[in-house]
Amino acid sequence: MKFTNKKLIASIMLPLVLSLGACASHLIDVRSGSERVSVADANQVSSCESKGRLMGSVLTEVGLFTRSVEAVEANLLQLALNGAVDKGGDTVVKKDTTRYGERTFDIYKCRP
C-alpha cells in the first residue's frame, strides 16, 4: 500500500489529536473532600455563611477541536468543588456566564 504525504501525516496526527482530547476532559484533579461538596440554587443558601467567590476558566479547545460543553462544564464544576474545600465551604452555587469556558461560583458553609 502506497501512502501519500497527506495520508501519512493524517494517520499520525489523528490519533495524537484524539488522545489529547481525551486527556483534556480529565485536566482538573479531584481534591480530597470535594466529593462532599453540594451544588445548590441561590434560594437554598439564605441561611448559610458565605465563604467567597471563585472565578474559574478551563480549556475550551484542544488543537483543532472544540471540547464538548459537558466536558468543559464538568471541569468548571470540579474547580468549584476543589475551591470550596480550600475555602472551608461545603456548598457551591453556579452563577450565569456569558463566556464559554468561564464560570463564577459562590461558595458557602451550610452544614455544621
Average pLDDT over residues 70-93: 97
Q: Region 4-22: what's the mean pLDDT?
A: 55
Instruction: Inform me whether the pLDDT recorded for 19 exceeds 60.
Output: no
Q: What is the mean pLDDT of residues 4-18?
A: 57
Helix (H), strand (E) at residue 77: helix 69-87
Give the long-range contacts of residues 68-76, CB within 8 A, separation 24 or more.
68/25, 69/100, 71/24, 71/25, 72/100, 72/101, 73/103, 74/25, 75/25, 75/27, 75/28, 76/101, 76/102, 76/103
Domains in the chain, number:
1
pLDDT at 63: 86
More confident residue, 91 or 22: 91
Q: How many beta carbons lie within 10 A of that of residue 74, not counting itself?
A: 15
Alpha-carbon span 67 to 75, nearest angstrom: 11
Q: What is the pLDDT of residues 25-64, one digit of tens each?
A: 567 899 999 999 999 999 999 999 999 999 999 999 988 8
| Residue 63, domain CATH | 3.30.110
**Range of 57's domain?**
5-109
Pick the residue with more confidence: 97 or 13?
97
Check pLDDT > 50 for residue 90. yes
